[in-house]
Amino acid sequence: MADLSRRGLLVAAGGLAPAVTAAGEAAATLPDRTRFTFDGVYLDAAFTHPVGTFAQAAAARYVEARRRDPQAVGPRGNPRRGAVERFARLINAAPADVAVTPSTLVAENLLNAALGIGAGAGVVTDALHYDGSLALYGELKRRGAPVTVVRPRGGGIDLADIRAAITGETRLVAVSLVSGVTGFTHDLAELCAVAHARGALVYADIIQAAGAMPIDVKATGVDFAACGTYKWLMGDFGTAFLYVRPDRLDRLRRVEVGWRQVIRQESHVLPFETPGPALGEYELSGGAAGIFEASTPAWGALAVAQASLDYVQELGVDAISRARQPLIDHLQDAMPRSGFRPLTPRGAAGPVVVFAQRDAEARHGARLAAAGVRISTYPHRIRISPSVYNTPEDIARLVEVLAGP
Say if 6-46+316-402 and 80-311 have the same CATH topology. Answer: no
Q: Is 163 exposed, middle or buried (0-12, 13-18, 19+ CB in 10 A)?
A: middle
Q: CA-CA-CA-CA torsion for 76, 80, 83, 85, nearest 10 degrees?
A: -70
Classified by CATH at the fold level, domain 80-311 comes out as Aspartate Aminotransferase; domain 2 (3.40.640)
Whether the per-residue pLDDT at 256 is higher than 90: the answer is: yes
Class of domain 6-46+316-402: alpha beta
pLDDT 10s digits, 51-70:
999 999 999 999 999 999 99
pLDDT tens readout for residues 212-228: 999 999 999 999 999 99
Q: For 146-176, give the secondary structure using H, E and C.
A: CEEEECCECCECCHHHHHHHCCCCEEEEEEE
Rounded CA gap, 244 and 405, in Å? 50
| Cα separation, 172 vs 121, whole angstroms | 8
**What is the per-residue pLDDT across 290-328, written as a single tens digit (0 to 9) for each?**
999 999 999 999 999 999 999 999 999 999 999 999 999
Q: Where do the structural domains in the chain lie, given as residue ranges?
A: 6-46+316-402, 80-311
- At 27 the pLDDT is 57
Q: How many residues are listed for the chain in this entry?
A: 405
Rounded Cα gap, residues 241 and 172, in angstroms? 19
Quote the pTM value: 0.93
